[in-house]
Amino acid sequence: MIKNVVEHIGGVGIYGVISVCIFFAFFVGMLVWAVRLKKHYLNSMRELPLDGGEVVPQPKLPSQPTTDSRHE
């Protein structure tokens, strides 16, 4: 029954071509995205599973000296 219904729909052959074109465009888009990734980002993502979830404190940068008015 479904075969009979599909045969009578006009232009049904174009749906296969459109789906292959969409798949190909998506595949090429993902390939371009993967090639354009930065090395720093890839290295940080590569180390992420081995991180262990520990937060490593970042050293504070020296800023302007603070003056404490309570100093005697």
Tens-place pLDDT, residues 9-40: 777 778 889 999 999 999 999 999 999 989 98
- List of long-range contacts for 62-65, beta carbons under 8 Å, 24+ apart: none
Answer whether residue 7 is part of any domain.
no
Give the pLDDT confidence score for residue 42 in this predicted structure. 86
Q: Residue 56 falls within a domain, yes or no? A: no
pTM of the model as a whole:
0.51
Give the number of other Cβ atoms within 10 Å of residue 27's Cβ: 10
Which range marks the domain in which residue 17 is found? 13-41
Q: Please name the residues in contact with 6: beta carbons below 8 A apart, sequence gap of 6 or more.
A: 12
CA–CA gap between residue 69 and residue 51 (Å, rounded): 42
pLDDT at residue 69, as a whole number = 59
pLDDT tens readout for residues 46-70: 888 776 666 666 667 666 555 655 6
Per-residue pLDDT at 25? 98
Number of domains in the chain: 1
Residue indicated by tokens 């465009």: 25
